[in-house]
Amino acid sequence: MISELGRLERAERERISEFLSEAPVSLSALANSLGLRVISAKLPNGISGEIRPDHEAPAGYIIRVNKNDPARRQRFTVAHEIGHYLLHRDEIGDGITDDILYRSSLSDSREAQANRMAADLLMPKPIVDTWIERARALQVEDLVGFLADKFNVSTAAMKIRLGIE
């Protein structure tokens, strides 16, 4: 799996890596460190989240997530929108709105990049590998469920991260 973190400048990678040392990753702390404002909001049906310019946020952007989505989906949406900020800042313009399939007006390749970045942020490979070893030592029967709970992500997201689906 290609790591989208490798696309970032070294200083930004180092700053972000401080937040990727334990599970579950604190997205609110990461967003705050990047100067992004994150709020849970009532969004139209079928819309999971968006990133838009915001003069009140230190970095100039706000991430809004659909408050009606399950908590783990909201976490992925926040990570996805942080991915857009990190990778596509120059393309945000008036904003990017993502539907429930994480599609927006950006190209499918840009959406795929934001999804991979979300996986990198929520489920950092070194920590996932560490928890796989711990799960084996504990003889955990449901590895995917165990890891999904530990990282506070959906089982679908964890299966993709593990290369099962």
Structural domains present in the chain? 4-123 (1.10.10)
pLDDT band (50, 70, 90) for residue 102: low
The two beta strands, 37-41 and 47-53, are: unpaired
Contact 148, 155 (CB under 8 A): yes
Task: Return mean pLDDT, the chain.
Answer: 90
Determine if the pTM surpasses 0.75.
yes
Amino acid identity, position 97: T
- Predicted local distance difference test score (pLDDT) of residue 1: 45
- Predicted local distance difference test score (pLDDT) of residue 67: 96
- Residues 20 and 16: their CA atoms lie apart, in Å, by 7
- Predicted local distance difference test score (pLDDT) of residue 107: 53
